[in-house]
Amino acid sequence: MEEGDLDRVVENETRSYAFPWTRAVFSDCVKSGHECWVAERGEIIIGHGVLSIGADEAHLLNICVRRDEQGHGLGRQIVVHMLERAGRRGATVVYLEVRPSNRVAGALYASLGFREIGRRKDYYPAEIGSEDARVLAITLGPAELPAPR
C-alpha cells in the first residue's frame, strides 16, 4: 500500500464497514512504516491489511476484503501473509481485536490458531452505543505459521 492507493483503499473500506477507517488513519500507517498491503485484481483493490510490528510483537490493525470478493479465501490469504511478514520481522506473537458480532472473521481467526485472551469493553462504535472487542493472539514459531488453503 502506498499513498497513491489510499483513495481506492478508503473506497473499499467504506463499502465494507459501517465504521470505516479514514484516509488520514491509513496515511499515518503508511507514513509510520507499518506493513500496509493491498490485494488487487487489475486496477481494483479487492482487499487490504495493516500490521504494526514492534520489538517481538505485532498487532494486526486492519483486514478488509471487498464485500463482493468475500467468501473465496482472500481474507485468509491476507492474514496468512501478514503473519508471515510479522514472523520474518521477528515477532513471536500477533494480536488483534475483532467484534464478537463478526462471526465470520472470528471463525477465520480461530481456524488459523488465534485464541481469545481478553475483552476490551465498549471498544467499537455501534449503531446503538458500542460493542466490546474480543482480543485474540497467536504465537508464531517456524512450525506454527498457518498454511494457506
Pairing mode, if any, of strands 93-98 and 57-65? parallel
Amino acid identity at 107: A
φ, ψ at 108 (rounded to 5°): -60, -50
Q: Which one of the listed residues 11, 57, 69, 97 is annotated catalytic?
A: 97
Q: Which residues contact 138 (CB under 8 A, 6 or more apart)?
A: 83, 93, 94, 112, 113, 114, 115, 144
Assigned C-alpha cell, 19: 465504521
109 is a catalytic site residue:
yes
Which residues of the chain form beta strands (DSSP E)? 35-41, 44-54, 57-65, 93-98, 115-125, 130-139
DSSP code per residue over 100-114: TT-HHHHHHHHHHT-
Q: Catalogue the active-site residues.
A: 97, 109
